[in-house]
Chain A
Amino acid sequence: MATTQVPCPLPGTFYRRPSPDQPAFKNEGDPVAVGDTIGLIEVMKTFNEVKAEIAGTLKAFLVEDEEAVMAGQPLYEIDA
Chain B
Amino acid sequence: MSFKVTKPGLATTVQDLGRPGYFHLGIPLSGAMDQIALRTANLLVGNDEGAAGLEIVFMGPELIFARDALIAITGGEIPPKLDGQPQPTWTALPVKAGQTLSFDFLKAGARAYLAIEGGIDVPLVLGSRSTYALGTLGGFQGRKLQAGDELQLGPAGNGGRAGRSLPDSLRPVLPKEIRLRALPGQFWERITEQAQAQFFEDTWKVAPEADRIGYRFRGGRPLDFVPREPPFGAGSDPSNIVDGCYSYGSIQIPGGTEPIVLHRDAVSGGGYFMPATVISADMDLIAQLQPHVPVRFERVDMETALAARATHRADLERIRSALA
Contact = CB atoms under 8 A, between A and B. Distances in A.
A72 interface: yes
A44 B290 contact: no
Contacts of A80: none
Given A12-B291, A13-B291, A71-B59, A42 B208 contact: yes
B211 A9 contact: no
B209 A45 contact: yes
Contacts of B228: none
Given A10-B10, A11-B58, A68-B292, A43 B105 contact: no
Interface in B88-134: 105-107, 110
Contacts of B291: 11-13, 43, 68
A11 B106 contact: yes
Interface size class of A (residues with CB under 8 A): 10 to 19
A70 B290 contact: yes
Interface size class of B (residues with CB under 8 A): 10 to 19
A11 B322 CA distance: 34
A5 interface: no
Interface string A5-19: 001111111000000
B106 A44 contact: no
Contacts of B290: 11, 70-71
B10 A48 contact: yes
A43 B58 CA distance: 9
Contact of B105 (A9, A42, A44): A9
Among B105, B107, B208, find the residue whose CB has the most chain A CB atoms closer than 10 A: B208
Interface of A: 7-13, 42-46, 48, 68, 70-72
Interface of B: 10-11, 57-59, 105-107, 110, 208-211, 290-292
Nearest 8 A/B pairs, CB to CB: A71-B106, A72-B105, A68-B292, A44-B211, A11-B290, A12-B208, A45-B209, A71-B105
